[in-house]
Amino acid sequence: MKIHEYQAKELFAGAGIPVPKGDVAETVADAVSIAENMGRPVMVKAQVHVGGRGKAGGVKYAENVEAARVWAQKILGMDIKGLTVKKILVTEAVDIVSESYVGIIIDRATKCPVIMVSAAGGIDIEEVAAKTPEKIHKLAVDPTAGLKAYQARDLAAELYRDIKLVRQAANIIMRLYDVYWKVDASLVEINPLITTPDGKVLAIDAKINIDDNGLFRQKDVAAMRDLDAEDPSEVEAREGDLSFVKLNGNIGCIVNGAGLAMATMDLVKHYGGEPANFLDIGGSSNPQKVLTAMRIILRDTNVRSILINIFGGITRCDDVANGIVMAYEELKPEVPIVVRLTGTNEQQARKILKKVNLQSADTLDNVVKKAIKIAEIDESAVGRL
């Protein structure tokens, strides 16, 4: 799960990481009053779940309240990489002497949280990492022993020469590591970590991604989820315990397991079709999940055929079959459906599916080919009308 910069900064501030003062606004009037209270130049920053906000024009400096009003008007409602800006952070502007990068990420290779620092922080950090990887310093932290003060100091010393700055940065790295564990993060990032003319080290941006698997014990963090900032279909899918990503094709896919769902999509494309979505109903699926999946897919008016591919393991084919029957009765879909069910309780599933009139296929390749064929026929019929 992603949270906004202003939320991440709240968590940072709570952990003792220095951040500039600021507040979030959803209207121009609110933004103006925050800027007025600040009584000094501010930054107006779009709060959306994508990187590169600055480059897209979503982060602006405002010399005075009037400028803040103008930028708030421009940025609220702005489209950044397909997302509409509904919230802005108005925060005090600070003078910057240097920009560094500090990030902690879970690393599957070392099986440790890895801390990365670079004195070359800022908006081009990815380029720095790609072109001059020697400028990124990494430390894999023993998860059981935890981060030691000397390690944080050594990392901070890669950023600054002045011992006063090193001490402040080391302290920030220690606290950032605490935040990482406290909120079940998969990523915490400060880019940039800046120094000011009066010798202060400050986090002027903040990014935190939360491990979805940790949310069950992170009630406060889970409450930070901004449903407005996400695709409505994806929200509904998640609430129904499905994973769903909308794509632009015309063949709706319902599959169990992420790997098989991806492989099914790959195969749709391989045989010349275009998948309308990625949808994994997960393991242990109850019939309700299939109903939700079908409802989400049927809402997409591009969909010309629905392909259901289930290989039963922990998912029982009879559960899925019951879900399909339920969906037929409740949603009465006009879009043709092609089903392939195999594995655990396959026989029972076949019996259940006799109640409804749908097409079936025996293999992965065949179900994909059939779904593509139906979609093509339907597409040409639409063309003639």
Partner 1 sequence: MSILINKKTKVIVQGITGRDGSFHAEQMKKYGTNVVGGVTPGKGGTKVASIPVFNSVKEAVDKTKANTSVIYVPPAFAVDAVYEAADAGISLIVCITEGVPANDMLKAYDYLKAKGVRLVGPNCPGIISPDQSKVGIMPGTIVKKGPVGVVSRSGTLTYEAIWALTCAGLGQTTCIGIGGDQIIGTNFIDVLGMFEADSTTKAVVMIGEIGGTDEEEAAKFVKKNMTKPVVGFIAGRTAPPGKRMGHAGAIISGGSGTAAEKIKALEAVGIPIAASPTEIPALIKDKLASVRKKGKAKPKMKKKTAVKKTRTARKTSGKRTAVSSKTKKGKKAPKAGTTRKRAGAKKRK
Contact positions with partner 1 (CB under 8 A) in 201-260 = 207, 209, 211, 213-214, 216-217, 245, 247, 255-260
Whole-angstrom distance, CA of residue 234 vs CA of residue 206: 25
Q: Which residue in 14, 16, 57, 143 binds partner 1 (CB under 8 A)?
A: 143
Taking CA atoms, 171 is separated from 101, 153, 189, 376, 380, in Å, by 15, 8, 15, 61, 65
Between residues 146 and 199, which has the closer beta carbon with respect to partner 1? 146
Of the listed pieces 92-100, 152-160, 177-185, 353-361, which binds partner 1 according to CB under 8 A?
177-185
Catalytic residue among 160, 180, 189, 328: 189
| Upper half-sphere CA count for residue 294 (Cβ side, 13 Å) | 27
Which part of the chain contacts partner 1 (CB under 8 A), choosing from 33-41, 70-78, 87-95, 133-141? 133-141
Based on the residue annotation, tell me whether 177 is a catalytic residue of this protein: no
Among 56, 67, 70, 187, binds partner 1 (CB under 8 A): 187
- Beta strands in 271-353, from DSSP E residues, in sequence order: 277-280, 305-312, 337-343
Q: Which of residues 35-94 bind partner 1 (CB under 8 A)?
A: 51
Interface of this chain with partner 1, residues 260 to 279, rule: CB under 8 A: 260, 262-263, 265-270, 275, 278
Under rule CB under 8 A, residue 287 binds partner 1? no
Give the one residue of 93, 105, 222, 235 binding partner 1; rule: CB under 8 A.
105
d(CA 368, CA 178): 48
Nearer to partner 1, 22 or 312 (CB): 312
Catalytic residue among 6, 101, 177, 328: 101
Please identify, among the stretches 32-40, 159-167, 294-302, 313-321, the one whose residues bind partner 1 according to the rule CB under 8 A.
Answer: 313-321
Tokens of 238: 């998640």
Contact mark string toward partner 1, 7..26, x via CB under 8 A = --------------------
The rounded distance, in Å, linking the Cα atoms of 364 and 360 is 11
Taking CB under 8 A as the binding criterion, the range among 12-20, 29-37, 280-288, 351-359 that sits at the site for partner 1 is: 280-288
Interaction between residue 322 and partner 1 (CB under 8 A): no
The residue within the footprint of partner 1, chosen from 88, 116, 170, 367 (CB under 8 A), is 116
- The answer to whether 101 is a known catalytic residue is yes
Q: What are phi and psi of 91, to 5 degrees?
A: -135, 150
From residue 111, give the alpha-carbon distance in Å to each of 141, 143, 276, 311, 381: 9, 9, 35, 31, 54
Amino acid found at 2: K
What the block records as the tokens of 14 is 């709570």
At residue 179, what is the residue type? Answer: V
β-pair type (305-312, 137-140): unpaired
Q: Measured over all CA atoms, what is the biggest interatomic distance in the chain, rounded to whole angstroms? A: 77
| Residue with Cβ nearer partner 1 (73 or 286) | 286
Residue 119 binds to partner 1 (criterion: CB under 8 A): no
CA dist list (Å): 229 to 150, 171, 235, 299? 40, 33, 10, 20
- Nearer residue to partner 1 within complex by CB, 76 or 208: 208
Closer residue to partner 1 in complex, CB, 38/267: 267
- Active site amino acids: 101, 189
